[in-house]
Structure 1
Amino acid sequence: MKLAIDSYCFHRYFGEVYPGIEEDPGSRMTMRGFLARASSLGVDGVSLESCFLPSPTPEAVSQLREDLDERGLERVWAWGHPSGLQSGDAPEEVEDLKRHTEIAAAIGAKVMRICCGGRRTRPAEWGTHKGKLVPLLRNAIAHAEQHGVVLAIENHIDFLADELVELIQTIDSPWLGVCLDTANNLRMLEDPMVAIEKLAPYARATHVKDVAARSGNPREFAFWPSVPVGKGLIDIPRTFDVLRKHGYTGLLALEIDYLHPAFGGDEQAIADSLDYMRGLL
């Protein structure tokens, strides 16, 4: 397993600021600037959120691969933030997914994280949810296989662990797996370690995230802010052991979304998180 960072850690600097709970930092970051920052943090790889480079030209894609290769960074391309296929209600998005699969291949990524939906798009009935997604994913996987890219579905606060396992097993393709977010199922009020144990056998990418409980409604996003890895409710050492047990050898990509105000600035939280993860490795 290799230490990595997801560009979403710097989402505010890419212009995405959660209204009402975050402040604009007043400065911006480019993808090239992120790669420089990642290198300075001593990571082995990066997960690159395509929403921060939504319509790259062929020249930009070529430059991105050159920058990644020059820095020796392994890479995952990430598609679909915030709602991806909208839990199956946006079949037209499959074409964009395919386009980004080709970008993933062009930058040398063997895995592309995808979002099938989000907390706002999840329907009440699992059978309907699954029935809408299966044909869309089969279509996308056939294209991904042609380009040598594994699609990794994130548990994006849209699936219970058993639902995502059922979806993966139903499609049953070596070109489809899971991007295991270590904290998102707690945000759905599931035991996070039970979810991790269920999803780890299918992991092809990760978001290593730790969270704490705050005040308010536990069914709302703001109740579960990110904290530096090792400071929250997720058993990260056990998580790494579970991933090892299942033969996972990919990137352990730190992700911090809404940072708990008690932990100050992003930079310190990121540095502390990577130091903690590095110690476990």
Structure 2
Amino acid sequence: MKIGIGTYALFWEFQDVNPRPLGVAGMIDRAAELGCEVFQICDDPRILGEDAAGLRALRSRAEGHGIELELGTRGIDPEHLARFVDMAGALGARTLRSMVQAPEIADGVGTAARALRRTLPRLEAAGVTLALETYEQLPTADLLALVEELDSPLVGICLDPANCVSALEHPRQVVESCAPRTADLHVKDFRFTREEGWVGFRYAGAPIGEGLLDLDHELRSVYPPGHRRAEDGAPAAIVEHWLPWQGDLPTTLAAERDWTARTLTALRDWRAAHTD
């Protein structure tokens, strides 16, 4: 179980509201400062602006810190995935996270599976595993059916139960159904709060341990005793957040950094208590 952070743990560090946004290289440095073993570059369009030399520089920077890189995008179009598999290879990333968009599976699991089969040879050649994320646009049962139809060790699930709540799926059930196929894990807490006036609810992130995520259940499901204990075979646990704007940038950044530190501590404490 390797522990790290992703772009969504640094969300407010690179938004336009920040006059000194953190670049991808700076994010890798931040992950190193936090003692992470992995950094996931996820849904960050700036990576598309890097040429071959830029990708090599990021890889070298990460390797210098002893950090493994992962890459993230959205969609399963073969040409799109081909570009990201090549970038993953240039970065030394062994895991590529993506998301099946609703229109891509509108014609059924079989059609999506045929599209993904075109990517399998490229994944194999690059030594990259594709992790398809759970989220509200796609029922978890359909995502599992897709992964099972492909039946490839190179295609698994990026488990994020928080994403599925808005589709009225219970996080515990999502975790238990997806754990055996999980190739990557996003860790963030979440909760509902009443809107002012008691009309409706707000669904957003929460500090770890203060929301609805049963972290112990999630981790026990993905990392059961005696199963995939070897570091090379276990999914990485990647910290993310859904942190709402806190009124001003300094307060928001302070909260984001605090949430990250608390989640990393919780993951490390769990790993220490459950390492054979």
TM-score of the superposed pair, with normalisation by structure 2: 0.84
| Matching residue of 1:236 | 215
Deviation of 1:43 after TM superposition, in Å, equals 1.3
CA deviation map 1:171-214 (0-9, x unaligned): 11111111111311223211101110110111111111110113
**TM-superposed deviation, 1:241:** 0.7
Contact 1:14 1:52 (8 Å CA) reproduced: no
Rg comparison, structure with higher value: 2
Maintained 8 Å contact 2:96/2:131: yes
Shift in alpha-carbon separation, 1:15–1:132, aligned structure 2, 3 A: farther
* Residue ranges of structure 1 left out of the alignment (5+ in a row): 17-23, 86-92, 217-221
Q: Displacement of 1:11 after TM fit? A: 2.4
1:45-194 matches, cutoff 5 A: 45-49=38-42, 50-80=44-74, 84-85=75-76, 93-117=77-101, 122=102, 128-194=107-173
Partner secondary structure for residue 3 of structure 2: strand
1:219 maps to: none
Task: Give the match for residue 6 of structure 1.
Answer: 6
Distance in 1 between the 2:245 and 2:216 partners?
21
Name the CA shift for 1:272/1:64 in 2 (closer, same or farther; >3 Å): same
* Among candidates 185, 209, 224, match of residue 188 of structure 2: 209
TM-score, length basis structure 1: 0.83
User: What secondary structure sits across from 1:253 in the alignment?
Assistant: strand
**Aligned residue type for 1:162:** A
Unmatched tracts of structure 2, length 5 or more: 196-200, 272-276
Equivalent of residue 176 in structure 2, options 172, 180, 197: 197
Quick one: distance in 1 between partners of 2:241 and 2:111? 30
Letter in 1 for 2:264: L
SS in 1 for 2:36: coil
Partner of 1:39: 32
Q: Take 2:33 and 2:6, find their aligned partners in 1: how far apart are those partners?
A: 14
For the residue of structure 1 that corresponds to 2:48, the secondary structure is: coil
Kept after mapping to 1: 8 A contact 2:52/2:90: no
Q: CA–CA distance in 1 between the matches of 2:141 and 2:213? A: 19
> Distance in 2 between the 1:127 and 1:26 partners?
41
Pairwise CA RMSD: 2.3
| Equivalent AA in structure 2 for residue 95 of structure 1 | E
1:279 aligns with 2:264: no
